[in-house]
Amino acid sequence: MTSGDSGSMKPGASAADTAGPGIAGEAGFDTPVRGHAAGERIASSGGAGQAGDGADPSSAASGGRGRTFVRVALLGLVGVALAAFWFAGGSDLLTLDRLRASHDTLVSIYRESPVASVLVFSLVYVAATALSFPGAAVLTLGGASVFGFWVSLVAVSVASTVGATLAFMGARYVFRDWVARRFMEPMRRVDEGVRKDGLFYLFSLRLVPVVPFFLVNLLMGLTRMPTRTYYWVSQVGMLPGTAVYVYAGQELGRIRTTADIFSPGLVAAFVLLAVFPWMTRCALAWYRGRRVD
């Protein structure tokens, strides 16, 4: 991914000042970072929850209770998921050695219950992505070695995007203040990138993994980008990289002897993993050059 041109906004800039041309302006959103002090208030998505001069106090109170309920509910879900992951020994499960040792068993389970197997895999993937657990790449490779290319591509693509969107919503509705304080400097760069390039900036971050996956989810949650827009741009942007990893996992699943390590398919998979970031960087640079011209 390319993180775009870094920059900071002038303190006190208005929404009209921050709305950039092109896609960002057309999409009708801008980023909410204002000023440089870590304690400054981060505006809520779309201005929600800000009562105007003529707002009904009872409506404002009702809206406040609704937001509190959403935050408590999301925190509860996070706590339950973390506890389940811990007691299930999740840190040991999301390793390549463990998946390789269980490969034949997992293939047998998949052949007996294909729908249930893919559903359970997808739910685990959503949880791991939403909670930023390490091991998503291992899950992708392991799933592809069991399910094959096309089933894994669909399952991983949808599950990773749903998980990313849940993390995005968590940053927006639950952890907003903490994220704003903890990642102020990266947020300024994201703010500038979205202001200049709009949706294309998120698309470029999804294509080339320069910025950590979990950090993109959190920081984009502080912008005014609509959730549905974040979902479909992430879905499309992550698809090429997902396809490369799924293909590599499929080839890894075919290894039975040491000679298979040098099979044309596996060699091609590792070559794709190596050159894909470079190819996408070149493609994005070429596209940006054409836009400037």
Would 56 be classed as within a structural domain? no
Q: What does the pLDDT read at residue 79? A: 65
> What number of residues does the chain have?
293
| 53 assigned to some structural domain | no
Average pLDDT over residues 159-183: 92
pLDDT of residue 8: 38
Residue entry with tokens 């799924």: 246
> Is residue 55 one of the residues assigned to a domain?
no
| Structural domains in the chain (count) | 1
Tell whether 18 is covered by a domain: no
Containing structural domain, residue 226:
64-292
In a domain, residue 34? The reply is no
pTM check: above 0.75:
no
C-alpha closest to that of 24 among 198, 174, 187, 196: 198
Top-ranked range on mean pLDDT: pick from 36-50, 124-138, 243-257? 124-138
163 inside domain: yes
Task: Tell me which amino acid residue 199 is.
Answer: L
Q: Kindly indicate the confidence band of residue 48, based on its pLDDT and cuts at 50, 70 and 90.
A: very low
Helix residue ranges per DSSP H, 44-148: 57-87, 90-93, 96-101, 103-112, 114-130, 136-147
> Where does the pLDDT of residue 1 fall: very low under 50, low under 70, confident under 90, or very high at 90 and above?
very low
Mean predicted confidence (pLDDT) in 172-193: 88
Residues 83-131: tens digit of each pLDDT: 665 565 555 556 667 777 788 899 999 999 999 999 999 998 998 898 8
**6 occurs within a structural domain:** no
pLDDT-derived band at 45, boundaries 50, 70, 90: very low
Q: Is residue 23, in this structure, part of any structural domain at all?
A: no
Q: Rounded to whole angstroms, how far apart are CA atoms 119 and 143? A: 12
